[in-house]
Amino acid sequence: MGKMIYLDNAATTKTAPEVVEAMLPYFTEMYGNPSSIYDFASKSKEGVTKARGQIADALGAKREEIYFTAGGSEADNWALKATFEAYKSKGNHIITTKIEHHAILHTCEYLEKERGAKITYVDVDENGIVKLDELEKAITPETILISVMFANNEIGSIQPIKEIGAIAKEHGILFHTDAVQAFGQVPINVDELGIDMLSSSGHKLNGPKGIGFLYIRKGVKIRSFVHGGAQERKRRAGTENVPGIVGYGAAAERAIRTMEERTAKEIQVRDHFIDRIMKEIPYVKLNGHPTKRLPNNVNVSFQFIEGESMLLMLDNYGVCASSGSACTSGSLDPSHVLLAIGLPHEIAHGSLRMTLSEETTMEDADFVVDKLKEIVSGLRAMSPLYEDFIKKQKN
Amino acid sequence: MYSEKVMDHFQHPRNVGEIENASGVGTVGNAKCGDIMRIFLDIDDETHIIRDCKFKTFGCGAAVATSSMATEMVKGKTIEEAMKLTNKAVMEALDGLPPVKVHCSLLAEEAVHAALWDYAQKHHIEIEGLKKPKSDIHEGEEDEAEEY
């Protein structure tokens, strides 16, 4: 096998060398516990403080509004469960969407089943953009929280966050956004967008795995989710993951510094990818919004073929990608996101997601599209659905 | 995730294609669940030997590999012998499948049976142990069908 072409950056990213470099001293040199009193430990504490500042700056937030967690899923769980708990005297209704990550959807299901919450799952349009009129109509006097992801992890659709923030504010409802895919890819300012809580994860933006944070606007009164020590202003117990936090700070700073140039390049390669696929492969559909999409997201469905087969074939050529087919989700149903944008099951099964990085070149895109053409026609030649389709056309 | 045998049969599937004027054709599975398998049989009417067997499959790596293996296993066999082909035997011949993929191997057995059923119908014969195939092997696995 030749070189690997990694097109699964929505799953995880390579930790940037400068991030690793920033982290390393915190394993073997400045390994003190930030809570300890002696001078040696103050170095660790400084590392955490600096990272908190780097992240706060990246969001236009205050330092004390950033709470480190073990990742995006923990931040999502915390935001939903703790808000429900803290605001239950006001109401028990939460509004979210049908295309959220499972960290939100499964938490909502838990709150519904075990805690008596009422959840409204708002529809999205065929491009995967939340329907604002439906969202506003869903608001009741019992509504305590709106949680809408910033950008979708599968189809890359970027949501009208500013508008949702304004709706939430107008009705006096808290607004949480899962920005795991968006942070570092699109500019975010929590004040300008009216965001009260925001979840994020380090390894999606060239930071380390196992570290995330929840931004909690000052005044939002949610409590601790993990009980124990007094870390994170008594809101998240557990000795800080100092190297992880330092790495996340460095990654956030780097993501903001490189955003303009990096995403411009990604958009160019992304659009080249999409253009060639749409022009050169028949019976294909672009999933997600044509322009309001993450700079690095390509998601297409090929009719008559199944996604996992495509991934295995691509893997042969060293190409790493993902699919929303049932066979990759371990169930009989394809991705809930693809169904929510109205794709019939058989077309959802034939989806392919390729998420680029700044290292993805035009040559990579050309290589992958060339191989895809072969793979798609090979699998179609084997497909009874294609056979039936062709026969029908002849008649 | 997959054994070497599965990958070999996926990457180099045996007996892909159609048989013109096949003695029997069987299609099972459904597109909604992401797998459809169609098996074509060429059967000697005198000896009941399966002279040729081909397949077309829409599905994951396991679905393609089990189709390929099943066609190899029934080729040259008599109808009676082919009737004894089980999904377990296909799976074993492939050195196993991941647990979530076991249902793919059921398709292969069902597709062979469906093709034999078609042959039996055309020739007005009865094949011992052969039941009318389910039109959809996922029947009963889901609560309700959604329409699009």
Instruction: Please tell me which of the candidates B18, B34, B138 has its beta carbon nearest to residue A327.
Output: B34
Q: Which residues of A80-102 are buried (b: 16+ CB within 10 A; e: fewer)?
A: bbbbbeebeeebbbbbbbbbbbe
Q: How many domains does chain A fold into?
A: 2
* Nearest-angstrom CA–CA distance, A12 and A201: 10
Instruction: Please tell me which of the candidates B18, B27, B59 has its beta carbon nearest to residue A306.
Output: B59
Asked if residue A329 and residue A378 are part of one domain, the reply reads yes
The architecture CATH gives domain B4-139? Alpha-Beta Complex (3.90)
| Between B85 and B144, the higher pLDDT residue | B85
- pLDDT, residue A327, reads 66
What's the CATH number where A84 sits? Answer: 3.40.640.10
- pLDDT, residue A328, reads 62
Res. B135 pLDDT band, cuts 50 70 90: low
What is this structure's pTM?
Answer: 0.93
Interface of B with A in 58-97 (CB under 8 A): 58-64
Strand partners, B55: B16, B39
Say yes or no for a CB contact (<8 Å) between B57 and A382: yes
| Between A320 and B33, the higher pLDDT residue | A320
Say yes or no for a CB contact (<8 Å) between A305 and B58: yes
Distance from CA of A25 to the nearest CA of B (A): 37
Asked if residue A187 and residue A290 are part of one domain, the reply reads no
Asked if residue A312 and residue A163 are part of one domain, the reply reads no
Residue A301 has pLDDT above 50, yes or no: yes
Res. B34 pLDDT band, cuts 50 70 90: confident
Say yes or no for a CB contact (<8 Å) between A306 and B27: no
Q: Which of A207, A226, A255 is the last residue of a domain?
A: A255
Asked if residue A142 and residue A95 are part of one domain, the reply reads yes
- Which one, of A16, A354, A8, lies nearest residue A205 by Cα? A16
Residue B148 has pLDDT above 80, yes or no: no
Instruction: Work out the mean pLDDT of chain A and round it to a whole number.
Output: 96
- pLDDT, residue B142, reads 41
Residue A146 has pLDDT above 80, yes or no: yes
% of chain A surpassing 70 pLDDT: 98
Task: Find how far residue A109's CA is from the centre of its chain.
Answer: 20
Q: Which of A231, A255, A279 is the last residue of a domain?
A: A255
Tens-place pLDDT, residues A319-375 = 999 998 876 655 667 899 999 999 999 899 999 999 999 999 999 999 999 999 999
Asked if residue A246 and residue A192 are part of one domain, the reply reads yes
Residue B140 has pLDDT above 60, yes or no: no
Q: Which of A201, A231, A255 is the last residue of a domain?
A: A255
Distance from CA of A133 to the nearest CA of B (A): 24
Res. B136 pLDDT band, cuts 50 70 90: low
Residue B147 has pLDDT above 50, yes or no: no
Q: Does B10 touch chain A (CB under 8 A)?
A: yes
Residue B85 has pLDDT above 80, yes or no: yes
Tens-place pLDDT, residues A101-133 = 999 999 999 999 999 999 999 999 999 999 999
Q: Which residues form the domain of A271? A: 5-12+259-394
ipTM value for the complex: 0.88
Instruction: Work out the mean pLDDT of chain B and round it to a whole number.
Output: 88
Residue A6 has pLDDT above 70, yes or no: yes
Tell me the pairing of strands A143-147 and A93-97: parallel
Tens-place pLDDT, residues A216-229 = 999 999 999 899 99
Q: What is the dihedral of CA A135, A141, A144, A150, to 10 degrees?
A: 10
| Between A259 and B102, the higher pLDDT residue | A259
DSSP string, A165-181: HHHHHHTT-EEEEE-TT
Tens-place pLDDT, residues A48-95 = 999 999 999 999 999 999 999 999 999 999 999 999 999 999 999 999
- Please, is A160 exposed, middle or buried when counting C-beta atoms within 10 Å of its C-beta (0-12, 13-18, 19+)? middle
- Could you tell me if A113 and A64 are in contact, meaning their C-beta atoms sit under 8 angstroms apart? no
Domain ranges for chain B: 4-139
Q: Classify A317 as helix, strand or coil.
A: coil
- pLDDT, residue B1, reads 84
Say yes or no for a CB contact (<8 Å) between A345 and B64: no
Known catalytic residues of A? 327
Say yes or no for a CB contact (<8 Å) between B141 and A332: yes
Residue A266 has pLDDT above 70, yes or no: yes
DSSP string, A254-292: HHHHHHHHHHHHHHHHHHHHHHHHHHHSSSEEE-S-SSS
- pLDDT, residue A356, reads 98
Asked if residue A277 and residue A249 are part of one domain, the reply reads no
* Nearest-angstrom CA–CA distance, A275 and B32: 28
- pLDDT, residue A264, reads 98
- Could you tell me if B40 and B16 are in contact, meaning their C-beta atoms sit under 8 angstroms apart? no
Residue A257 has pLDDT above 70, yes or no: yes
Asked if residue A282 and residue A220 are part of one domain, the reply reads no
Tens-place pLDDT, residues B35-62 = 999 999 999 999 999 999 999 999 999 9
Longest dimension (CA), chain A: 84
Q: Which of A362-366, B70-74, B129-133 has the lowest mean pLDDT?
A: B129-133
Residue B148 with chain A: CB contacts under 8 Å: 342, 344-345
Q: Which of A147-161, A250-264, A306-320, B92-106 has the lowest mean pLDDT?
A: B92-106
Residue B63 has pLDDT above 80, yes or no: yes
